[in-house]
Amino acid sequence: MLRITTLAAALALSTSAFALSLADLSQTDASGGLKDALIQSAQVAIQQLGAPGGFSNNPDVRIELPGDLGKAARTMKMMGMGAQVTQLETSMNQAAEAAVPQAQALLVESVKKMTVQDAKSILAGPQDSATQYLNKTSREQLRAKFLPIVQQTTAQVGLAQQYNSFAGQAAAFGVIDAKSANIESYVTEQALDGLFEMIAQQEASIRQNPAGAATSLAKKVFGAL
């Protein structure tokens, strides 16, 4: 009995010796592990969203007609005009899918600029705190990068003309006014929202399962959380 108790105590001591907390990590390790995980999250999100159907087949980020136009779309579907709605939404999602791959270099640059103090705040924050940091530090530059691509893509399929035509028809039903938003800006913002939503999902996954991190340093840091 004594030997079993002694063995159990030894195992407990051994386990505690390998159990790290953030306080046990150097600032360099903590910052480096976070950066690794955030770059991984961004790369996975971009890969998923930039593929054909990346937006349209994902209910979490699928882009639909905005506000009152969305309500009008449902009405028009019931009146046998669903094909036009589907064509519009398909074009919007394809424009977002074309823009997202351009985000990688800017996101990696934002991650590399992260300070040690930034990293400490992020690691102690909520499950999407790293994503919030990226959103704050890179959204404006990403918007400038995305908008011309969205404009080019929507021009190729005549999306703006389709959208304005649809808005006019919807106005005839009395469910919206004739004034409509700029479709390119709307798609751009939706693409950015979708990108950060997917990065946040990846960040939360790594926090919950550090073994899923791509580098040993990231595993070590998030394991310590």
Q: How far apart are CA 174 and CA 9, in angstroms?
A: 76
Other CB atoms within a 10 A radius of the CB of residue 156 amount to 12
Predicted confidence (pLDDT) per residue in 184-203, tens digit: 888 899 999 999 999 999 99
Predicted confidence (pLDDT) per residue in 125-171, tens digit: 888 999 999 999 999 999 999 999 999 988 887 777 777 677 667 66
Can you list the alpha helix ranges (DSSP code H) found in 100-179? 104-112, 116-123, 129-156, 159-172
Q: What is the pTM of this model?
A: 0.80
Give the residue extent of every domain in the chain. Answer: 27-224
Write the CA distances from 177 to 29, 165, 173, 188, integer angstroms: 55, 13, 10, 23
